[in-house]
Each structure stands twice: as structure tokens, then as C-alpha cells.
Amino acid sequence: MANGTTGAGGLAAPRPRGGVLQSLGDSLVITKRNLIRMSRIPEMIIFGLIQPVMFVVLFSYVFGGSISVGGSTSPAAYREFLMAGIFAQTVTFATAGAGAGIADDMHKGLIDRFRSLPMARGAVLTGRTLADLVQTALTVAVLAVVALIVGWRTHTSVGEVLGGFALLMLMGYAFSWIGALIGLSVRTPEAATSGGLIWLFPLTFISNAFVPSDNMPSFLQTVAEWNPFSATVQATRELFGNLPPGYQAPDAWPMQHPVIASAVWSVLIIVAFRTLAVRKYRSATA
């Protein structure tokens, strides 16, 4: 028989799909499953929106006017400087949710049920991270509206603004793979949430997100300038036109070429942590 084996009723069974095609199809099925699940638990989305909105309001009105940016203590100047950092923090903090979700699926045995199905091994993790990316994009969209309400503005072309948001989404997707690895490495969702947040605080605060890095001690300044998070924040500020007047970027290569550095960092993180997460998934469910 040329087109496949004969099944019940003499019908030819379809040929198995190729590896890449099967993996893509299975990943989209898992993505859809997770998006439907999220829509049925609206509090997940609501609570995910509240935190970044609080950060915008608190940093804008509490710290605005007390932190010098480009020699100015104007609240408006700090607000524009701040928003790239808030956007970046929002997409990275989604890491904790990704890890907790995968840990919960592991804890309930859902991963084992997926493993019994004829599907690509990496599809379960890819589908989960893609669903988290959709939720993160929704959060960032709402956050952008709130930022516009409190006075944030962009000063570049539409293409550059969209490029800035694309870099943010790429970094968020990269960090979701770190969350996936954490979720596979712990025993409970609570541990995944803690493990997903504990390293994010030094990552985001030892950076240029909330204050210029040149105000830091020299050794912290070096760490901040080579921080992947800082590269994305710097790139986003450039693409949004939110750099302070007369701003001089530090001499470190990532700060001189932040768009390239941000993209390279994100791709490297995706490649490294997706490989580790899929390997951990296979060994954890073996």
C-alpha cells in the first residue's frame, strides 16, 4: 500500500507527520489547552495585572521627583526613564508563573498523562511557554495603557516602538524557559514560585531599570552593564525615545549596542535553557 497501512474498514491510516511539523502541531495544541485553562481562571490574569500597575503608580508618584535622571529631577523625566524598566520587570516576573504552572502539572500527574500520548516530548514545555507569552503580552498591553494615562510617552516611529515591545517579548519568552526548568526541578508549585522570584530581585535591581547604573559602586556598575536585563531595558529606552537629554551610554559593549546585545542574550538563554528543560523533562518523567 503506497499511502499508509490499512486500518479498520480498509481505510488507510495517515502517515505520521515529520518531526518538526509534529512538534509544532503538538505545541500549538498544548498552547490552546493552557490558554483555555487561563481564561477559566480569570483571577490569574487579574492578579498578574495588578502588580505591574502598582509598580507604575508607586514608582511614578513616590520616587518621581526624588531621583535625578540626566541631571533632572522632573517627575515626567523619571517617568519616561522608568517605564522601560517596569515593562522589562513585568515580562521577567512572569517566569515565576511559568515555573509554578509546570510544577503544578507535574504534581498532579498531568505531565505523565501527556507523556503517554504520541506527541513530541518538547511540545508540553513549548506549549506552556507560548501560552505564558500570550498572557504576558496581554499584561504589557494593559500596562502600556496605564503608563500613557500617568504621562508616559514615546518619541520615535511606530516601527521602533513595536521593535522595543518585540525585544521585551523575546526576553520574556527566554526567561519563561528558566521558569520551566525551575518548575521541573522542584516538588511543589509553592517552591517553584519562590525559586522563580528569589533570583529575579537581584537581577532586576542590579541593573539600569530604576536608577542610572553610573550611580552605583564600580563593581556593581560592571555587573549592571553586562546584565542581560539591562541590555533589554537600554534597548527599549532607545527604541521608545526615552533616554534622558544629553545621556551618554556607558562604555560597556552591551550598553553601546543594546538592541543587538538584547537579542543575542535572549536567543542564547532560549537555546541553553530550552535544552536543559527538555532534558530535565525527559529524565523527570522517565
Look at the chain and report how many structural domains it folds into. 1
In a domain, 4, yes or no: no
pLDDT for 33 equals 84
- Domain around 212: 42-284
In a domain, 29, yes or no: no
Instruction: In whole angstroms, give the CA distance from residue 11 to residue 190.
Output: 49
pLDDT for 232 equals 97
In a domain, 7, yes or no: no
Q: Note the pTM of the prediction, 2 decimals.
A: 0.84
In a domain, 24, yes or no: no
b/e map 228-265, b = 16+ CB within 10 Å: bbbbbbbbbbbbbebbbeeeebbebebbeebbebbbeb
In a domain, 63, yes or no: yes
Q: Name beta bridge partners: 72.
A: 69
In a domain, 16, yes or no: no
Tell me: pLDDT of 17 over 60: no
pLDDT single digits (tens) 160-179: 999 999 999 999 999 999 99
